[in-house]
Amino acid sequence: MRVQMLGLCRFSYLGGRGFQVSHQTVSERRAFLYDPARLARRWHWFENVTLPGLLAQTDQDFTMVLMTGPDLPDPYMSQLRELTEIAPQFKLALIPPIEAHLDACMQAITPYIEPQADVVGHFRQDDDDAVAVDYIRDARRDFAAMRPLWKQRGRLSCDYSRGLVLKATQKGISVEPRIIYNAVAGLTIYLPPDAQRSVMHFPHWKIGLSMPGVNMPSKVMFVRFLNHDNDSGAIGAGYQWDVTDPDWRTLLAERFCIDLPSLEQAARAFALPGADRPRWGV
C-alpha cells in the first residue's frame, strides 16, 4: 500500500490566527515577522537545526511544503527557492495573508496530496525543531502494524514521544532529555487523501479528542528547540527520561545531523534570553 508522507513547514508566514503572538494589523505583523535581525536568527536555526535531519532522511520519499508569504524578503525567499532546486522533496507554497489560518494551510498542501495514495501521513515541521534521520522511514513502516486501528475511524495519530529539549540563551545551549506527549515534532496524523484536512486541523495538545493514537517512545526521534523567537516556548506535558553520562554532541550528530558546538557559538553570539512568554521553557 502507498503511504504518502506529507509535511508542512511555515516559515515566517504572514497570516492571521494560528499563532500565539498576535498583532492588531497585518502591517504590525509584517514588521514583526520580517524584522531583519529576527529573520537572520530564524534562518540560522532553520538551516542548522531543522534542515540537516530532513536532508539526511534514510527514506527520501516525502514531500515537505514550505509555506511563506509572497513578499518574504530576500535573501530568504531566494534561499527557499534554492532549497527546492537542490532537494526536490521541498516545495514552496507562496500564500498571501489569509485570516483563516486553516484555509491557508490547506491551500498550501492541497496541490501536493497524492489522490492515489492509500493513506497520507501528515506531519507539521516547525522551522526550529528537528526530527531524527529515520523518522520518515519509521512513520511509513510502522503504519502497517497500526493499519487495523486506523481503519476504525480513518484517522490515527502516531507519537514518537522520546526526544531532547534544547534551550538557547545568551549562556549557550542546555540539553534536557524528555518524553513529551504529542509534541509537534515526531507526531504523524494519518488521513485518507480525500479527507480535506491537514495536520493543522488537529491541535496536537488535544489530539485524543479527534482520533485514537499510538505512542512509540523507544527511540530518540525529535528535538524541541527553545529560543528567543518561539511563538510559545512551552515544552508540553511529559517528564524526563534517565540517561547516564550523556554524550549529547554525538547523539545530536548521529540522530539529527546537528552540530552542538556551532549551536552553542550561535546562541552566545545572538546574546538573547528566553522569549518573554508566560510558559517559555516550562
> Is residue 281 predicted with pLDDT exceeding 90?
no
pLDDT classification of 231: cutoffs 50, 70, 90: confident
Q: Across all residues in the chain, what is the average pLDDT?
A: 94
Task: Say what the pTM is.
Answer: 0.95
Longest dimension (CA), the chain: 51
Q: What is the dotted CATH code of the domain comprising 3-159+181-215?
A: 3.90.550
Q: What pLDDT digit, counting tens, does each position of 154-194 carry?
A: 999 999 999 999 999 999 999 999 999 999 999 999 999 99
pLDDT at 233: 82
- For the segment 35-47, the average pLDDT, to the nearest whole number, is 97
Instruction: Convert the pLDDT of each residue in 118-137 to its tens digit.
Output: 999 999 999 999 999 999 99
The pLDDT tens digits of the residues spanning 51-109 come to 999 999 999 999 999 999 999 999 999 999 999 999 999 999 999 999 899 999 999 99
